Amino acid sequence: MYSQQRYVLGCALVAGLGGLLFGFDTAVISGANADLQRVFDLSNAWLGFTVSSALIGTVIGALTAGEPADRYGRRPMLFVLALLFLVSAVGSALATNWWAFVLFRFVGGVGVGGASVVSPMYVSELSPAEYRGRMTATFQFNIVVGILVAQLSNYVIGAMALGASDWRWMFGVEAAPAVLFLGLLAFVPESPRWLVAAGRADAARGILGRTGTDSGDVRDDIDKIRRSLRQKRSGVREALFQAKYVVPISLAVAIAAFNQLSGINAILYYAPRIFRMAGVGEDAALLQTAMIGGVNLVATAAAMLVIDWFGRRRLMLIGSVGYITSLATVATAFFLYGEAFQQGQAAAVGAGSTVVLASIMVFIASHAVGQGAVIWVFISEIFPNEVRARGQSLGVFTHWAMNFVVSWLFPVLAGISVSLTFGIFCGFMVLQLLWVLILMPETKGVPLEEMRRKLDIERADVPAE
């Protein structure tokens, strides 16, 4: 039993390196956006587009990753994504003009979007229901580690005072984990559910024997997977957009949209800028950004330990309340101290910036415990086997499309009123709390092949061949 869990955990951590690169790619630009604005002479709107340029790639990666993952397998797609991360890291660091920089950031974005579809789906399909939440949440844990590594790396590089090349080193560091990801993928197996769908049940049996099963019997699990995949065996492609899938589709779109309407990625992308707007100096802004990365890591680790005990819904409730409280406090702080921040009044800056830092730390912890721990687990488990890859793509597409919009608009909205911007995020989190209370189901401990009954997806069982 424990050897099986260790094996699944090892595979999950390797696949989760896609999450580490996702997190690194997400956060690294936060330390470089001041340099990028200076080097490429960008307005606030064009800085927003430059920061968000990778997100165009994430949308495309999210939309396109599901089909090749179904056709060629989860593992080969992870190899391709690792290569994209490597190309992006080297290209962004060596870019000689704005167009080249945006192009290589776009390539990395395709990798991020693809990884956010394939990595959690792979781990979810590999893990027994009993501890699927913890294992799939390793993807989020790796994201958080990647964010923290990027923030610490940015701080160290900034402290080294390398001059005009600071920002190039910040992006180039990503090549190291990309190479590690490529190497370790050689040691993980293919998803057993994909193998059954591809007619390779014998290979799937061997993997299920090492990972553990939902029923305690490998043969019984294989039969259940076959029944859930009967549409594929008959050669008919199951359509995602039909009435019986309206519940998982609406759940995936809602949780993904709310994730970004909290402002989480805008805060991660622009954290040093936010702290500077709160009157903090450049070095202190980078250090405080690394501090919130540490809070994120600790809170995510705690959420991973309890997600299969507390459940997805309860963590979302806790996170929603934390979101609302912290965002309302940040909005109030900028409303009360905004003018003093701009004028550099020492007393106001000391009190106000402390409130902003503490509130953003509470916000990050709330995200880690709630949305951060739940989103990738929830989206990867609510769709039936025959449409899971495309359902995962839809949820991830929504996440990244909303991310693009919010991250592009944040510098513009913050330039008008930081207080109003955080107030808008707070309002959306009130709506999220109502959604969790009224509509979000609990999915902990439900085998993937039984999720259709949990969500009232109408489809009669067909005997296994």
Q: Residue 303: inside a domain, yes or no?
A: yes
**Domain that includes residue 96, residue range:** 2-454
Q: Does residue 429 lie within any of the structural domains?
A: yes
Q: What percent of the chain has pLDDT over 90?
A: 26
How confident is the model over 22-29, as a mean pLDDT? 81
- The span from the CA of 451 to the CA of 428, in Å, is 29
325 inside domain = yes
Domains identified in the chain, total number: 1
Q: Model-level pTM greater than 0.75?
A: no
More confident residue, 125 or 271: 125
Domain annotation covers residue 16: yes
Count the Cβ atoms, other than its own, within 10 Å of residue 223: 18
Query: Does 211 map to a domain?
Result: yes
Contacts 24+ apart (CB under 8 A), 121-124: 121/69, 121/74, 121/191, 121/380, 121/388, 121/389, 121/392, 122/15, 122/74, 122/75, 122/78, 122/191, 123/11, 123/12, 123/15, 123/16, 123/380, 124/377, 124/380, 124/381, 124/448
Residue 43 lies in a domain: yes
What distance in Å separates the CA atoms of residue 124 and residue 449, rounded to the nearest whole number?
12
CATH of the domain at 390: 1.20.1250.20
Q: What is the distance between the alpha carbons of residues 179 and 195, in angstroms, rounded to a whole number?
A: 27
39 located within any domain: yes
Residue-wise pLDDT tens digits, 98-155: 999 999 999 998 998 898 888 888 888 888 777 777 777 777 788 888 888 887 888 7
Give residue-wise pLDDT tens across range 380-436: 888 887 788 788 889 988 988 898 888 888 888 888 898 999 999 999 999 999 999
Q: What is the largest CA-CA distance in the chain?
A: 76
pLDDT digits (tens, 9 = 90+) for 68-106: 988 899 999 999 999 999 999 999 999 989 999 999 999
Examine residue 461 and state whether it is found in any structural domain, yes or no: no
Q: What is the DSSP string of 17-43?
A: HHHHHHHHHHHHGGGTHHHHHHHTT--
